[in-house]
Structure 1
């Protein structure tokens, strides 16, 4: 993700975002239980809450984010290796990849390439989680972040085309950092 305005918003609101995301996540609990052990990438890790929880569960965790303020927060979690990087900087192999509401900031044209790179970075049979806001088109929210929205069918088709096998879908609706509610979809897949 290289949209400077989006990155600047997250840098300025890092503490607010950390507070907003500090809660139990049933999808993360499921991801940890399903994967069991191994090396995990938290892609677009934000303040590192999920990465910290995975490290506590015994995983070898790499937390990556394009915002230095977020990387610094993620690095404070014991057992987490936090690094600055974008969706184009994935080069290692992982047993699991947690991409929870991060790839929604990638331009639509880049999504097939990003998913192919993630599939290549996932060991055979590895676990992939993606969370995205539902909708159509692309737009900036009221605080300036750029979003790309997908329908369920479009997102599932992109994962299938990249070689993933989807085995779970969870829908929800929550209030975001901009104060508005949005519908979302989380998909769990194997590589």
Structure 2
């Protein structure tokens, strides 16, 4: 994700972002992901934001590498003890390295045409049977929200098809509605799958 307007929107809203409460479905799915990863496993928090999820995984005794395109988020995560790095989805170049990859509402900032390529890189970076968490907003099209962030929206069927094509097996799907940083209420989907 290299969209400058999206990065700027996050850069000026670090504290605000941290204060947005997670929907209960997301809290539960995050826990389910942590439990599905092997004890002491190595997790990539892809599009980690200011590192709240990474800190949760560290408390769950997982090893974590965090990657985000917003330097202000990476700085905040580092200040809280997270191994965080500035990078984009294209920086996922590892092979069979991670026990789990957590992409919570990050891949929706990538253009639709790049989605299959990113999923393939994630699949390659996971160890066999590695766990993948994907959170996206449900909908159609690609457009900017009220604070100028670039979004790609998917239907559940599109997501299921893209994951299957990338070689993933879906273990569970949860859907819900939540209020985001821009103040709008959006339908979302949370997927836990394995490589």
Do the aligned residues in 2 keep the contact of 1:22 with 1:49 (CA within 8 Å)? no
Counterparts of 1:65-144 in structure 2, within 5 Å, are 65-78=68-81, 80-92=82-94, 93-144=97-148
The equivalent residue for 2:30 is 28
Q: CA deviation at 1:23?
A: 7.7
* TM-score normalised to structure 1 length: 0.96
2:149 to 142, 145, 150: 145
Aligned length: 190
The equivalent residue for 2:5 is 5
1:179 to 180, 183, 193: 183
Do the aligned residues in 2 keep the contact of 1:32 with 1:54 (CA within 8 Å)? yes
Change (3 A) 1:169 1:22: closer
5+ residue gaps, structure 2: none
CA deviation profile, 1:114-137 (whole Å, cap 9, x unmatched): 000000000000000000000010
TM superposition outliers: structure 1 runs of 4+ over 2 Å: 21-24
